Amino acid sequence: MKINWGTGIVLAFIGFISFIMYFIITLNVNDKYNHDLVTEDYYAEELSYQNDIDKLNNAKNLDKNISYERTDKGLLIVFPKNIDFSKISGNVFLYRPSNKQLDFDTTISLSKPYLLIPDKRLVGGRWNIKVDWQYNNELYLYKEIINY
């Protein structure tokens, strides 16, 4: 049987459409490809973004900003040594882009100049850290993307 050019074009279209349909169905059905928005209330957070910019600028004006270090016990978030750590308050939010069930929020309550996030709470891979903290009525924000 001889295939003419019209039949070849139709077969090419059918093959292309089949490939696209397979791709779309795979992305919609397979949980491995299930990625959610960064936050559920995206527009409300967008309105408060200028506050975050101000907090980031306050943090940049510090002599030394927050740092982090991975230890065998977990993730160590170290606050600046030149400030009184007992007056620090705020939240630490860890966001996992690939799985929102792993996201968690921790209140900052320090007895030492660092905060330890236990290793059992963190799964290997990419994490976004957001430390929203306050010291002497001044607001600060630290954001970092890490691979744990």
Percent over 90 (pLDDT), the chain: 23
Q: Which residue has the tokens 């490809």?
A: 33
pLDDT at 37: 60
7 and 26 assigned to the same domain: yes
What is the pLDDT of the chain when averaged over all its residues?
Answer: 86
101 and 68 assigned to the same domain: yes
CATH number for 115? 2.60.40.10
73 and 115 assigned to the same domain: yes
- Under the phi-then-psi rule, with left for phi > 0, alpha for psi from -120 to 50, and beta for the rest, what region is 137? left
Summarize pLDDT for 17-75 with one digit per residue, the tens.
999 999 999 888 887 766 666 666 777 777 788 888 999 998 898 888 888 888 888 88
52 and 101 assigned to the same domain: yes
Do residues 36 and 100 touch, judged by C-beta distance below 8 A? yes
Q: Find the farthest-apart pair of alpha carbons in the chain and give their distance in angstroms, rounded.
A: 86
Instruction: Provide the domain limits for residue 73.
Output: 42-147
Q: Answer whether residue 7 shows pLDDT above 80.
A: yes
Distance, in Å, from the CA atom of 49 to the CA atom of 56, rounded to the nearest integer, reads 11
Looking at residue 113, the DSSP 8-state letter turns out to be S
Q: What pTM did the predictor assign?
A: 0.66
Q: Answer whether residue 14 shows pLDDT above 80.
A: yes
The structural domain count of the chain equals 2
pLDDT at 123: 85
74 and 122 assigned to the same domain: yes
46 and 105 assigned to the same domain: yes
86 and 22 assigned to the same domain: no
Q: What is the DSSP string of 56-101?
A: HHHHHTSSS--EEEE-SSEEEEEPPTTS-GGG-EEEEEEE-TT-GG
pLDDT at 9: 95
